[in-house]
């Protein structure tokens, strides 16, 4: 499992048509936030549709370590009795966030303006990822941090009992950094301000408002300015987590590249700060429709219908769209392999500091399966081979990265000779039912490596 167990090699064979309904799990970003905001609120917060992947389970465990009562009451149904803003207790042991950058970064923010000390660690992937982007602004609130070289985990945060609010401009487009600052700002008196040049996912702002905090968000001279009034009285909520557009991307994209496919993915969150992939696929000529558009739990939602799309063309994906599809570039690079011509992805250097260096991981694995890829620090270009044009037959490394593993398995489904990944274990972090769900649609996997 996700770097904690023995590798689970898996091969996706070239697939016949994928057909049917794909019920994908709850949104990972919203699931983490539901647990953390519930833990910071006095009273009982009830959550349905929570993603029960390892990343989110690690956050649930962390919230218990900080003093909240977190109980699973049914399938995806959770109850959180929180301790209130500033009420976190000091954990007795190291907090292990496993593979989850979102978990560790948001929790560091949430505890940094409370006078307690906590030490954080994670798996081999998380221990390589930059944390200075979080500890920088937390220091401005008055917290202190002690980590390994480059701000790597394991890392200790000494929270402050006398926080001062900050006015922080994001140096990189990152919803995790924005959220860490806002969560720290919750327990600082006065107004905490975050400025972002590129709009990143806004679930934290939306949910904070839902819990009763005062949060405004305005564009001033092209920059989004988010203002939070500190020390609010939060009130416990009932949250219905929408299904994850980043997980829906896998059955949707597999259908687009597999002959004869027709797949319906119901109830997908289509918050505009998350929907860039779907805009891009439609521009490429994908047969992808939104059905029954509606609002659920404060988020726009629709049923997605995807059919085999032999006429897709490569396009240039503009850099300003990158933040709204940052987790979807690996699977887009798979779809691009089946389009005619080149697909150019720009402004994507943040991919290099995800669960793996996703540009390098995709480039190496695609080349091993017959697809030509060019890369620079900030771009990736995939030279498409057209429908049914990808030979496959190669092996790819997952690098402890769930999205890389799923992307290559989807590549295998559309390919002639299938694709092997060295370890499908990391998929459990975000999409624990990926394999049985894809099998029900018609995909074939072999569990041993070739």
- Which residues carry out catalysis? 327
Task: Kindly tell me which residue out of 12, 326, 371, 409 binds ligand S3P, with binding defined by CB under 6 A.
Answer: 326
Minimal CA–CA distance to 187: which of 215, 131, 227, 229? 229
Q: Taking contact as CB under 6 A, which single stretch among the options 89-97, 168-176, 272-280, 371-379 is the one that binds ligand S3P?
A: 168-176
Check binding of 174 to ligand S3P (CB under 6 A): yes
Whose Cβ is closer to ligand S3P: residue 347's or residue 412's?
Answer: 347
Site string for ligand S3P, 68-87 (x = CB under 6 A): --------------------
| C-alpha to C-alpha distances, 302 to 49, 231, 332, 352, nearest whole angstrom | 16, 35, 20, 31
Whose Cβ is closer to ligand S3P: residue 113's or residue 430's?
Answer: 430
Q: Taking contact as CB under 6 A, which single stretch among the options 38-46, 70-78, 175-183, 332-340 is the one that binds ligand S3P?
A: 175-183
Q: Taking contact as CB under 6 A, which single stretch among the options 170-178, 252-260, 416-424, 437-445 is the one that binds ligand S3P?
A: 170-178
Task: Answer for the pair 66, 273: CB distance below 8 angstroms, yes or no.
Answer: no
Whose Cβ is closer to ligand S3P: residue 102's or residue 381's?
Answer: 102
Check binding of 176 to ligand S3P (CB under 6 A): yes
Task: Kindly tell me which residue out of 15, 31, 34, 179 binds ligand S3P, with binding defined by CB under 6 A.
Answer: 179
Please give the residues from 5 up to 34 whose contact with ligand S3P meets the rule CB under 6 A: 29
Check binding of 247 to ligand S3P (CB under 6 A): no
Please give the residues from 134 up to 153 whose contact with ligand S3P meets the rule CB under 6 A: none
SS (H, E, C) the chain: CCCCCCCCCEEECCCCCCEEECCCCECHHHHHHHHHHHHCCCEEEEEECCCCCHHHHHHHHHHHHCCCEEEEEECCEEEEEECCCCCCCCCCCCEECCCCHHHHHHHHHHHCCCCCEEEEECCCCHHHCCCHHHHHHHHHHCCEEEEEHHHEEEEEEECCCCCCCCEEECCCCCHHHHHHHHHHHCCCCCEEEEEECCCCCCHHHHHHHHCCCCEEEEEECCEEEEEEECCCCCCCCEEECCECHHHHHHHHHHHHCCCCCEEEEEEEECCCCCCHHHHHHHHHCCEEEEEEEEEECCEEEEEEEEECCCCCECCEECHHHHHHHHHHHHHHHHHHHCCEEEEEEECCHHHHHCCCCHHHHHHHHHHHCCCEEEECCCEEEEEEECCCCCCCCCEECCCCCHHHHHHHHHHHHHCCCCEEECCCHHHHHCCCCHHHHHHHHCCCEECCCC
For the record, the structure tokens of 394 come out as 């190669």
Check binding of 102 to ligand S3P (CB under 6 A): yes
Task: Kindly tell me which residue out of 198, 299, 350, 423 binds ligand S3P, with binding defined by CB under 6 A.
Answer: 350
Check binding of 315 to ligand S3P (CB under 6 A): no
Whose Cβ is closer to ligand S3P: residue 100's or residue 261's?
Answer: 100
Q: Taking contact as CB under 6 A, which single stretch among the options 48-56, 85-93, 174-182, 280-288 is the one that binds ligand S3P?
A: 174-182
Q: Output the smallest distance, CB 24 to ligand S3P, in A.
A: 15
Q: Which residues pair with 146 in a beta bridge?
A: 156
Q: Output the smallest distance, CB 147 to ligand S3P, in A.
A: 17
| C-alpha to C-alpha distances, 183 to 43, 58, 180, 303, 353, nearest whole angstrom | 18, 18, 5, 32, 22
Whose Cβ is closer to ligand S3P: residue 29's or residue 45's?
Answer: 29
Check binding of 126 to ligand S3P (CB under 6 A): no
Check binding of 407 to ligand S3P (CB under 6 A): no
Task: Kindly tell me which residue out of 327, 328, 375, 423 binds ligand S3P, with binding defined by CB under 6 A.
Answer: 327
Q: Output the smallest distance, CB 370 to ligand S3P, in A.
A: 28
Whose Cβ is closer to ligand S3P: residue 201's or residue 321's?
Answer: 201
Site string for ligand S3P, 201-240 (x = CB under 6 A): x---------------------------------------
What backbone torsions phi and psi does residue 59 show, to the nearest 5 degrees? -70, -40
Whose Cβ is closer to ligand S3P: residue 29's or residue 247's?
Answer: 29
Q: By rule CB under 6 A, what count of residues binds ligand S3P?
A: 10
Whose Cβ is closer to ligand S3P: residue 34's or residue 41's?
Answer: 34
d(CA 135, CA 255): 42
Please give the residues from 352 up to 381 whose contact with ligand S3P meets the rule CB under 6 A: none
Whose Cβ is closer to ligand S3P: residue 264's or residue 359's?
Answer: 359
d(CA 359, CA 401): 12
Task: Note the residues at the interface with ligand S3P (CB under 6 A).
Answer: 29, 102, 174-176, 179, 201, 326-327, 350
């Amino acid at each position: 499992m996700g770097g904690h167990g023995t590798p689970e090699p898996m091969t996706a064979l070239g697939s016949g048509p994928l057909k049917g309904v794909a019920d994908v799990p709850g949104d990972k970003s919203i699931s983490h936030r539901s647990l953390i905001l519930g833990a910071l609120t006095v009273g009982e917060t009830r959550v349905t549709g929570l993603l029960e992947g390892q990343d989110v389970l690690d956050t649930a465990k962390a919230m218990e370590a900080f003093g909240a009562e977190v109980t699973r009451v049914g399938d995806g149904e959770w109850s959180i009795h929180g301790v209130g803003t500033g009420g976190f207790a000091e954990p007795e042991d190291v907090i292990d966030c496993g593979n989850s950058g979102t978990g560790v970064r948001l929790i560091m923010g949430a505890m940094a303006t409370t006078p307690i000390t906590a030490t954080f660690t994670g798996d081999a992937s998380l221990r390589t990822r930059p944390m200075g982007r979080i500890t920088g602004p937390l220091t401005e609130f008055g917290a202190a941090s002690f980590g390994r070289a480059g701000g790597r985990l394991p890392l200790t945060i000494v929270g402050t009992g006398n926080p001062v609010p900050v006015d922080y401009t994001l140096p990189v487009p990152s919803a995790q950094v924005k959220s860490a600052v806002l969560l720290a700002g919750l327990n600082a008196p006065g107004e905490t301000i975050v400025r972002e040049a590129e709009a990143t996912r806004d679930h934290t702002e939306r949910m904070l408002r839902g819990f009763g905090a005062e949060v405004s968000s305005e564009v001033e001279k092209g920059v989004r300015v988010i203002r939070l009034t500190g020390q609010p009285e939060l009130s416990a909520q009932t949250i219905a987590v929408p299904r994850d557009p980043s997980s829906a991307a896998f059955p949707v994209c597999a259908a687009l590249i597999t002959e004869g496919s027709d797949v319906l993915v119901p109830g997908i969150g289509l918050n505009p700060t998350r929907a860039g992939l779907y805009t891009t696929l439609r521009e490429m000529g994908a047969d992808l429709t939104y059905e029954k558009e509606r609002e659920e739990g404060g988020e726009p939602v629709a049923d997605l219908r995807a059919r085999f799309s032999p006429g897709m063309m490569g396009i240039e994906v503009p850099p300003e769209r990158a933040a709204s599809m940052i987790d979807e570039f690996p699977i887009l690079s798979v779809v691009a392999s089946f389009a005619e011509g080149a697909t150019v992805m720009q402004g994507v250097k943040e991919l290099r500091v995800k669960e793996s260096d996703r540009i390098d991981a995709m480039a190496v694995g695609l080349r091993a399966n017959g697809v030509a890829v060019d890369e620079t620090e900030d771009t990736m270009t995939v030279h498409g081979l057209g429908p049914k044009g990808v030979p496959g037959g190669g092996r790819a490394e997952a690098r402890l990265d769930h999205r890389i593993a799923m992307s290559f398995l989807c590549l295998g489904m559309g390919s002639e000779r299938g694709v092997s990944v060295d370890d499908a274990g990391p998929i459990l972090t975000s999409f624990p039912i990926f394999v049985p769900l894809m099998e029900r649609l018609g995909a074939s996997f072999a569990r041993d490596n070739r």
